[in-house]
Structure formats: structure tokens, C-alpha cells
Amino acid sequence: MEDPRQRAIEEHIRGDAYAATLGAHIEAIGPGYSRVRLTVTQAMCNFHGTVHGGVIFGLGDIAFAAASNSRGQTAVALDVNISFLRPAFPGDVLVAEAQEQDLSGPIGLYDITVRREGDGQLIAQSQAVVYRKREWFVPE
């Protein structure tokens, strides 16, 4: 049986307007984890014909937000570092995964990867820090 509280958390997170605008689909949400998929369009490319770094960062940030808010407590980013490792191109399907590495009081540490679906090539890697506020968007 599905937990109504967890369903409410997931519905809240999946209502993200930026994810919808980008065309990103939040596929999985679990405690401290998320997976997000995006099909790249020509409109997402820079003047070199490769996916704009802002799109790649944004996809990872959507995954980070979903993972860090996955328990219903309001969490906000403190720091995100990203390394762009390979280009992506129109038609590529990119998959971002965020995984909680440490949760210590109000501070959480996350690893985020963005991979190309199909060949699994690592496109970008991020590490991010979140602060959990003393508020819940879905009460305990």
C-alpha cells in the first residue's frame, strides 16, 4: 500500500515549474535519492551545437532538489560545484541522478551525475550541499 504522505511529497516535487518548462521528467524519488530524464532539443544548444552548460546544470539541480527535499522538509542549496566532462547533443537523452552521501543535522551532502542514456557516458559530475530549514512542506 502506498504511503499518502510520500505520495504528497512526490506530487509537490513533481509540480516543479522549471522542470516542466525544461521538459525534464522526474522518474524516481526516494529518501535522499532521485532520477530525472531529459531529451535534448536543438533549442537547448549553444553556438557550438552542443548542449548548453546551463541546461546540464539545471538538470542536475532538479535531481538535487528532488533528492534533498524527498523527506518533506524544506531544503535549499548552499553550494553546488560541477565538472563538465563531455559534450551532449540534440537528440541525446540525459539522465541525472542525485544521491545523498551524508546527512548531519541540517546539512546534507549529495553527489549528482548526469549521464547520456544508451552509452552511459558521464557528461557531468556535481557535488552539492543543502541546508534543511525548520519547516516542512508536507508535515511529518
| Complete edge-to-edge strand list for the sheet that includes strand 93-104 | 25-30, 33-39, 93-104, 107-116, 122-136, 73-84
Alpha-carbon span 3 to 136, nearest angstrom: 17
pLDDT tens per residue, range 43-99: 999 999 999 999 999 999 999 999 999 999 999 999 999 999 999 999 999 999 999
At 100-124, the pLDDT tens digits run 999 989 999 999 999 999 999 999 9
Q: How many domains does the chain have?
A: 1
Mean pLDDT along residues 22-29: 98
Say which amino acid occupies 45: C
Q: Mean pLDDT throughout 125-131?
A: 98
Domain containing 33: what range?
4-136
pLDDT at 66: 98
For residue 1, pLDDT beyond 80: no
Whole-number Cα distances in Å, 22 to 52, 73, 75: 12, 25, 22
For residue 59, the model assigns a pLDDT of: 98
pLDDT at 140: 82
**For residue 125, what pLDDT is reported?**
98
* The predicted structure's pLDDT at residue 100: 98
Assign residue 97 the CATH number of its domain: 3.10.129.10
Q: ∠91-96-102 over CA atoms, to 5°? A: 170
